[in-house]
Structure 1
Amino acid sequence: MAVPLAGFAAGAVVALLVGVFGRVHDPTLTGTTTFGFRTVIDLKVVLSVVIGVLAVLQLVGALWIYGRLGVRAPSWAGTAHRVSGMVTVVLILVVAYNCLWGLGLEVGTFASGAPVPTRTVVHGLLGCLVIGAAVVKVVAVRSRRAPGWFLPLAGGLLFTLIVAVVLTSAVWYIGANGWPGSSGYG
């Protein structure tokens, strides 16, 4: 139990530190990047959709590799799963950086006195938890002494949080504004 407890403790500390940074940092778009997208929001929406798709592929890949789909996985499936997992984590970090640096973590009321929408609060808190859950998953993947249930639990937690963050960000945004750059946008 020491490895899972240490993993969850490390993840909780990281999530808390990310949240504290998001609250105390003065948000600014200076230092963010759009990577060619029109705005930081456009970048976040598109990359969040990609992250959501990759998370689903990660789930399917894990089920395939561990024989839960009823079809034997080919030898390359493990490598593809690891590479797509690393790409997913890198994209999560890009989105998280641009989100925390450019927008911060809003709770309560804005500086104007207007209340922060519940969706925004939930999304921000879930985003912090995603970073913590990624730490837990890395601990689970890297540990050779962890119990067998730890890796699927860590992966399931990360998957669930990613889906929740994508639903409260990109899916909500696309529903409200359309796809970034589309005619219905803005």
Structure 2
Amino acid sequence: MADTAAPPTAPKSMAVPLTAFAVGGVVALLLGIFSKVHDPTLDGTTTLGYSNVLAMKTVVAVVIGVLAVGQVIGALWIYGKLPIKAPSWLGKAHRAGGTLVLLLSVFVGYHCLWSVGWETGVTDTGYHVPARTIVHEILGCIVFGAIVVKIVAVRSKRAPGWFLPLAGGLLFTLLIAAVLTSAAYYIGDNGWPSRA
């Protein structure tokens, strides 16, 4: 008679989230250091037809924010937290949406780090960098650390059950905070960005 017992599951380990948070912290720190020592330049950047890099980043950041809200709704639906049964295609759509958020975040993050860099205190021209900008810079670096944590959470079979929702919630919160400290501020001051 064949053994029909389910294969043993890997034991859950706190080492997975602890390692993920440590690596994510290192990624965030390294991005912060790079953006501080890098001389900002517009070389190698694009405006995608908008009037400037900040306008383009604003539009893409709003798209990221909308997609992030969709990701949370999708996750709640997939895990049965909404009163409607999730369709079979939702898992694939959720993964594709997450990949798109990641790619767009890397695109915006590159343009932030490369074209703007890290601004603190008073610039060479005497401009006083507002606290909102500094908070945004910190959030932007931490977002990429949180992306690392979320990828580990999605891929790990040995992480505790609370790790994936915590990683997803943390990433969502940081993304929305980054959008609010940049795109929402830009739109409030300048209106919706126009094409060049």
Which deviations, in whole Å up to 9, do the C-alpha atoms of 1:110-130 show, x marking residues without a partner? 122432111110011100010
Identical amino acids, percent of aligned pairs = 63
Q: How does 1:117-156 map to 2 (within 5 A)?
A: 117-156=130-169
Length, aligned pairs only: 183
**What corresponds to 2:175 in structure 1?**
162
Larger Rg computed on CA atoms? 2
Q: Which has the higher helix share?
A: 1
Instruction: State the one-letter code of the partner of 2:94.
Output: H
Find the partner of 2:118 among 97, 105, 128.
Answer: 105
Which runs of 4 or more aligned residues in structure 1 lie more than 4 Å from their structure 2 counterparts after TM superposition? none
Task: Answer yes or no: is 1:52 the counterpart of 2:65.
Answer: yes
Query: How far apart, in 1, do the equivalents of 2:191 and 2:48 lie?
Result: 20
Measured after TM superposition, the shift of residue 174 of structure 1 is: 0.5
Find the partner of 1:28 among 33, 41, 49.
Answer: 41
Q: Helix, strand or coil for the counterpart of 1:148?
A: coil
Do the aligned partners of 2:50 and 2:194 also contact (CA within 8 Å) in 1? no
Structure 1 unmatched ranges of 5 or more: none
Measured after TM superposition, the shift of residue 37 of structure 1 is: 2.5
Per the normalisation by structure 2, the TM-score is: 0.90
Query: How far apart, in 2, do the equivalents of 1:138 and 1:107 lie?
Result: 31
Query: How far apart, in 2, do the equivalents of 1:134 and 1:168 lie?
Result: 19
Q: Helix, strand or coil for the counterpart of 2:44?
A: coil
Q: Helix, strand or coil for the counterpart of 1:6?
A: helix
**What corresponds to 1:14 in structure 2?**
27
Query: How far apart, in 1, do the equivalents of 2:141 and 2:57 lie?
Result: 15
Do the aligned partners of 2:62 and 2:179 also contact (CA within 8 Å) in 1? yes
Which deviations, in whole Å up to 9, do the C-alpha atoms of 1:104-153 show, x marking residues without a partner? 01122212243211111001110001011001000101111111100000
After superposing the two structures, state which structure 1 stretch, 173-182 or 160-169, moved more.
173-182
Per the normalisation by structure 1, the TM-score is: 0.95
Which deviations, in whole Å up to 9, do the C-alpha atoms of 1:45-74 show, x marking residues without a partner? 000000000000000000000000121101
Query: How far apart, in 2, do the equivalents of 1:109 and 1:75 lie?
Result: 54
Query: How far apart, in 2, do the equivalents of 1:113 and 1:174 lie?
Result: 25
Instruction: State the one-letter code of the partner of 1:32.
Output: T
Higher relative contact order at CA 8 Å, sep ≥6: structure 1 or structure 2?
2
Instruction: State the one-letter code of the partner of 1:130.
Output: V
Do the aligned partners of 2:60 and 2:104 also contact (CA within 8 Å) in 1? yes
Measured after TM superposition, the shift of residue 166 of structure 1 is: 0.5
